[in-house]
Amino acid sequence: MGIKGKFGEIRIGSEDNAAHLMVTGNSGSWATNVGQNLNFDVADWVEAPSGHRASTVQRLDLGEADSEKLTYFTPRFGGFQLGLTYMPSANEGKNNSPELTSAANHSGFAAAVRYSGKFDAVGIGASAGYAQYNPPGGANPNRLSDPKGFAAGLKLTFGKITVAAGHSREMNLASDQSTGSVTRGNTAYDFGIKYNGGKNKFSLGYMMSEDDASTAAGEDETTIAMLSYRRDLGPGVQYRLNLMYGDFEGETAGSSDDNDGYAITTSVRLAF
C-alpha cells in the first residue's frame, strides 16, 4: 500500500528498502541499460559455478529482498530527498510478527539521500544509502551476524549521452568463532553508458564484484558485461539485441570452480 501527498510518501508492505530504491536509479548499468538487465540476466545465460559467492547484482540488499517493510520518503527540497525504512524481519514472505531476537536478523533499518538537478547543460543524479540489521542473540554464542552495508550512485547526462557509476559494500553477513570462518562481505562496482538516438538506443554496462568467501583460500570474483541495442518499433513495441559476457573465478586453485562464456539474445517486447 502506498500513500502520497504534500507530506511525502509512505509505503507499507512487500518492497525493497529505501536505500536500494533511491540508489539504483543513479547507479551504473541500472541507470543506463536499454536492453536486458546486466545485473539480473547475464547469469541466466552464463552459469556461475556451484558455491560461487561473488554476486552478479550491484545493489544494497542484505538478504531481505521484498520482505515486509515500512518506508517513508520526504518531499523534495532543492532537489534533495530523504528515505527511511524500518525492516522488522529479514525473511521475505513472512507476514506476521517480527523474528525472535534469538533466532534471526531482526529490526533493521535503511536510510538514503538522493539529489536530482542540473548544472548548466549537465543533468545530475546522485544518491547514497546505508542499511543494517540487529543480529540474533543467544541461539549460538559462537555465531556472529551483524549485516550492514552502504551503496552510492552517480549519473550524469550530456545531451543524448548518459554515464553512470555505482558502488556497494555489504559486510558481516556471516561469521562463526567456533569454526574459525571469516566474516563475509561482498564489494561491487557497476559502470554504464547510454546513447539515446531517438528510436535507436545503445548501452554498454560493466560490473565486477568480489566476495570474502574464505580468506584462507582467496576471493570469489565476478566480472560481467553487456552491450545492448534497442529499436522502438511503435507505441509499446521494442526490439532488443544483447551481447553478454560473464567470467566467474572461484577462490579454489585451478579451474574447478571457474567458468566464463558469451551469449547473444534477441527479443521483441510488448507493453500494454
Which residue ranges form the domains of the chain, and what is each CATH number?
2-270 (2.40.160.10)
Contact by Cβ (8 Å): 37, 188 = no
Q: What is the pLDDT of residues 145-183, one digit of tens each?
A: 678 999 999 999 999 999 999 999 988 755 554 454 555
Question: Is the model's pLDDT at 3 over the cut of 50?
Answer: yes
Q: What is the pLDDT of residues 36-80, one digit of tens each?
A: 999 999 989 998 888 777 788 888 888 787 888 999 999 999 999
pLDDT of residue 177: 46
CA distance 244 to 39: 11
Q: What is the pLDDT of residues 72-128, one digit of tens each?
A: 999 999 999 999 999 887 776 655 565 566 566 778 899 999 999 999 999 999 999
* C-alpha cell recorded at residue 211: 566476495
Q: What is the pLDDT of residues 126-154, one digit of tens each?
A: 999 999 988 776 545 444 567 899 999 99
What is the percentage of the chain residues whose pLDDT exceeds 70? Answer: 84
- Give CA 231 to chain center in angstroms: 26
Mean pLDDT of 15-34: 95
pLDDT of residue 270: 94
pLDDT of residue 258: 87
Contact by Cβ (8 Å): 90, 109 = no
Q: How many residues does the chain have?
A: 272
What does the H/E/C string look like for the chain? CEEEECCEEEEEEECCCHHHHHHHHHCHHHHCCCCCCHHHHHHHHCCCCCCCCCCCCCCCCCCCCCCEEEEEECCCECCEEEEEEEEEECCCCCCCCCCCCCCCCEEEEEEEEEEEEEECCEEEEEEEEEEEEECCCCCCCCEECCCEEEEEEEEEEECCEEEEEEEEEEECCCEECCCCECCCCEEEEEEEEEEEECCEEEEEEEEEEEEEEECCCEEEEEEEEEEEEEEEEECCEEEEEEEEEEEEECCCCCCCCCEEEEEEEEEEEECC
Residues 6 or more apart from 60 whose CB is under 8 A from it?
Answer: 17, 19, 20, 23, 110, 129, 130, 131, 149, 150, 151, 168, 170
pLDDT of residue 136: 73
pTM summary value: 0.85
Can you say whether residue 91 is alpha, beta or left, with left for phi > 0 and alpha for psi between -120 and 50 degrees?
beta
Contact by Cβ (8 Å): 36, 242 = yes
CA atoms within 13 A on the CB side of 13: 5
